[in-house]
Amino acid sequence: MKYAIFDLGSNSVRLMLWERGKTLEKRVVVTGLGRGLQSGGTLDGAAAERTLNAVRSLKDYAKDRGAERFCAFGTAAMRKAADGGEFARRIALETGVPTEIIGGEEEAAFGLSGALCGRDGGIIDIGGASTEITVSAGGKKIYSYSLDLGTVSLTDACGQNAGKSAALSAEKIKEYGEIPSAEFYGIGGTATSLAAIDLALSPYDPARVNGHVLGRETMRSLASRLAAMSVEERRNLKGLQPERAEVIANGALLLVAIMERFGMEKITVSESDNLEGYALSRFAKTEDKR
């Protein structure tokens, strides 16, 4: 059976086509669902409509490619919003895609299993409204924390003020406490976009992004470069979706803050992430029986 799985993130809707334990294809539409959202507030109406339209169009795309089963999970924006549950029900009703909202710890666990497939290591997932860091050792999760800060919420708070963004990032990441040493992998749209920019990819090539190493010095230079550019200049940058131009510099600054505070010399970018982890959690046993 071919599955179509949707990640309803705070900045984008992502689709993964998955069959017999393998990722066939991924597609992404930037919708900005978490823009302007305060904890306990409600989702922006226009952003909600963009998200619904993205699910509809991506579902049609998946059906044209033989998908038979559809499901979706919402992350930080839908967790934080007072009407997140109502929006999940609306998605299911209007698109026919059953939708659940997953917790931050579960999101982190899916990212870990999707990226590492049982290997020891750590993952950093900088999303739109949250950033998960998770570490495994000896086949077990030994650390996990979901920080209530991401590229969209950082941009809402700081705009394009790099100094303010760097300072807020440095302050907020103290919440992580002490993180165990590990080989760290960056997953999600921020990490893959930064890799694509570093590689100046046009068009985007997931095979080249997967496994690309971003050293700390490279990230410092890249963050400074992005922060010095206007949003319009970033829209024309090779490797970057134009829709991410407003938030990518803040994502880079947040990653640099994490790498510096916790002494990470490098991260390796992984194309496999919480979509694969979700699929393995929900459907691997079903697939084994086929």
Domain contains 289:
no
C-alpha span between 111 and 157 (Å, rounded): 26
Is 127 within a domain? yes
Report the number of distinct structural domains present in the chain.
2
Q: 97, 31 in Cβ contact below 8 A?
A: no
Mean pLDDT (whole number) for 71-75: 98
288 within a domain of the structure (yes/no): no
Residue with token string 């938030």: 247
pLDDT(39) > 90 = no
Average pLDDT of the chain, as a whole number: 96
- Whether the pLDDT of residue 249 is over 50: the answer is yes
Whole-number pLDDT of residue 286: 62
What does the pLDDT average to over 194-218?
97
Q: Does residue 121 share a domain with residue 95?
A: no
Same domain for 85 and 124, yes or no, is no
In this structure, the answer to whether residues 224 and 258 fall within a common structural domain is yes
Which CATH number fits the domain that encloses residue 232? 3.30.420.150
Structural domain including 204 reads: 115-269
213-224 per-position pLDDT tens digit? 999 999 999 999
Encoded amino acid at 43, one letter: L
What is this structure's pTM? 0.93
Higher local confidence (pLDDT), 25 or 38: 25
What number is the average pLDDT over the span 130-155? 96
Residue-wise pLDDT tens digits, 250-274: 999 999 999 999 999 999 999 999 9
User: Which residues have CB under 8 Å from 202's CB, separation 6+?
Assistant: 238, 239
Q: Beta-carbon neighbour count of residue 10 at 10 Å?
A: 28
Residues 58 and 127 in one domain: no
Q: Are residues 124 and 226 in the same domain?
A: yes
Identify the bridge partners of residue 22 per DSSP, sorted by sequence position. 19
Collapsing DSSP states into helix, strand and coil, what is residue 180?
A: coil
CA dihedral 117, 145, 44, 96 (to 10 degrees): 30
- What percent of the chain has pLDDT above 90? 94
In a domain, 279, yes or no: no
Domain identity same for 155 and 177 = yes
Q: Are residues 237 and 137 part of one domain?
A: yes
Final residue of a structural domain among 46, 74, 101: 101
Do 170 and 37 share a structural domain?
A: no
Average pLDDT over residues 110-123: 95
Confidence of residue 285 (pLDDT cuts 50, 70, 90): low
pLDDT at 41 over 60: yes
Question: What percent of the chain is modeled with pLDDT above 70?
Answer: 98
For residue 84, the domain's CATH number is 3.30.420.40
* Single residue among 47, 75, 101 that ends a domain in this structure: 101
The answer as to whether 286 is a domain residue is: no
Q: Which residues, listed in sequence order, are joined to residue 126 by a DSSP beta bridge?
A: 131
Predicted local confidence at residue 222, as pLDDT: 99
pLDDT, tens only, 127-137: 999 999 999 99
* pLDDT reading at 290 higher than 90: no
Q: Are residues 248 and 125 in the same domain?
A: yes
Q: How confident is the model at residue 289 (pLDDT cuts 50, 70, 90)?
A: very low
Residue written as tokens 């907020």?
172
Using the predicted structure, report yes or no on whether residue 38 has a pLDDT greater than 90: no
Q: Do 161 and 233 lie in a common domain?
A: yes
Q: What is the mean pLDDT of residues 103-113?
A: 94
In-domain check, residue 249:
yes
Helices 84-95 and 45-64: angle between axes, nearest 10 degrees: 40
Residues 186, 215: contact at Cβ < 8 Å?
A: no
pLDDT attached to residue 40? 77
